[in-house]
Amino acid sequence: MSPATRDPRRHLPLLLAALSMIGPFSIDAIFPGFPDIGREFSVGDVALQQLLSVYLLAYAAMSLFHGALSDAYGRKPVIVIAMALYTVASLGAAMAPSFAFLLGCRVLQGLCGGAGIVVGRAVVRDTMHGEEAQRMMSKVMMIFGVAPAIAPIVGAWLLGIDGWRGIFWALSGFTLLLTFSVWTFLMESHPVEKRTVFRPRPLLAGYLRIGRDLPFWPLAISSSVNFSGLFLYVASAPQVIRNHLHLGVDGFPWLFVPVVTGMVSGAFISGRVAGRVSAANTVTWGYVAMLSSCAISLVLSMTMDTPRVPWSTLPLALYGCGVQLAFPTLTLLLLDRFPEQRGGVSSVQAFFSLLVTALVAGVLSPALSGSMLTLALGATAMCAIGLGGWGWYIYLERRRLASAKAAAATNVVAQIERNEPG
């Protein structure tokens, strides 16, 4: 079969799953190395937290352009170039002579790390529709869900081989292999005749058009804030493990395994119910799970004298399940708002989501990680905001349908009146 006639979906699940792992590994794998980095460069916890914040801010800023670049130049070139640059950034981090240099490499990692998942969502929508697209998104999210649990375990293992620098050597090797894999196996899904022009004015006009679409915002709020409630615990992992649960570097699985188990279960269920359960019911199930998790966490944090495993972290499995139940459906609803501009929509959604996660990492996590109760309250507040966004979207859709029915009825009456004899 010639390259022109190969099925572009053939290697898509594995490639997108691997690309989706870059973000979690870039964040979670370095957590076990925080104490060693702090000692080597003589920096404290606040400075170490910036290794996460600068990555997320750069990731958010560049996510506005990944999709638009892929709309203009094709999906494959954008992913390949971004992964090659990420490899260079990881090599620089592994050889960093100073903390400032390490922060600079983290910025470059952030600028490139989001290309795979942002452009990958557009690839899914280019090649699949309906139930098939939801199942593909669910498969990718299952792998994405495993990464946060594996990453700190791998990071702790690499510490025993080459210290914290070994984590970045491993990231560079992984992304180098991924660059060649994407170049070899990913088929271009966005043909030349459908491409747009990458110029600042049309790009800004496109983003303004997306921003003026009122239903876009409740969907963006829901899809972004849902995960942030879970990410609050992820960003606070060093404090949760060391200060609240009093565990060592080998204690990270107590936090991440429940998170991953829930996320994988939610993604699996989402894929299984695709085409059988309505989008509204799937998302509603997700919120039932998330709110139940928040209620359990609040009760446990207020009634337990001392946080302890597994009870203090087990409710996160239910929260993760709810997040992944809702996320594929919310993402597809977002992409379908602008079928001709899916890359741009994916970029705007990713930008908004990452601004929220950067806020969580840089502000909310340091402020709320002092106790399990404040973390539970923060997660509950974010879940409530996400639910409010979903309710807002349902209200707008019902109002749109009512207006459409009224307009249709008016047209029927007008047609009857025109056909009546004078």
Residue 251: the pLDDT is: 82
Residue 134: the pLDDT is: 63
Among 136-140, 387-391, 405-409, 415-419, which range has the highest average pLDDT? 387-391
Residue 1: the pLDDT is: 42
Q: Who has greater pLDDT, 32 or 292?
A: 292
pLDDT, tens digit, for every residue of 162-176?
Answer: 788 999 999 999 999
Contact assessment for residue 393 and residue 215, using Cβ atoms and an 8 Å cutoff: yes
Confidence bin at 14 (pLDDT 50/70/90): confident
Phi, psi of 325 (to 5 degrees): -65, -40
The Cα–Cα gap between 87 and 113 comes to: 10
Per-residue pLDDT for 414 more than 50?
Answer: yes
Ranking 105-109, 119-123, 126-130 by mean pLDDT, the lowest is 126-130
pLDDT, tens digit, for every residue of 213-233?
Answer: 888 899 989 988 988 888 899
- Give this prediction's pTM: 0.71
The Cα–Cα gap between 83 and 178 comes to: 7
Closest alpha carbon to 210 in 220, 199, 195 = 220
State which fold the 12-400 domain adopts. Growth Hormone; Chain: A; (1.20.1250)
**Cα Dmax for the chain:** 93
In SS3 terms, 294-321 reads as HHHHHHHHHHCCCCCCCCCCCHHHHHHH
The Cα–Cα gap between 132 and 151 comes to: 29
The Cα–Cα gap between 182 and 77 comes to: 9
Average pLDDT value for residue range 26-42: 87
The Cα–Cα gap between 199 and 212 comes to: 20
Residue 361: the pLDDT is: 78
Confidence bin at 126 (pLDDT 50/70/90): confident
Closest alpha carbon to 68 in 351, 328, 329, 334 = 351
Residue 402: the pLDDT is: 84
Triad 391, 313, 148: Cα angle to 5°:
80
Closest alpha carbon to 358 in 107, 145, 104 = 107
Q: Which residues contact 264 (CB under 8 A, 6 or more apart)?
A: 142, 145, 146, 324
Contact assessment for residue 290 and residue 324, using Cβ atoms and an 8 Å cutoff: no
Q: Which residues contact 157 (CB under 8 A, 6 or more apart)?
A: none
Per-residue pLDDT for 73 more than 60?
Answer: yes
Domain ranges of the chain: 12-400
Confidence bin at 5 (pLDDT 50/70/90): very low
Residue 348: the pLDDT is: 81
The Cα–Cα gap between 358 and 202 comes to: 28
- Mean pLDDT for all residues in the chain: 83
Average pLDDT value for residue range 118-147: 69
Per-residue pLDDT for 65 more than 80?
Answer: yes
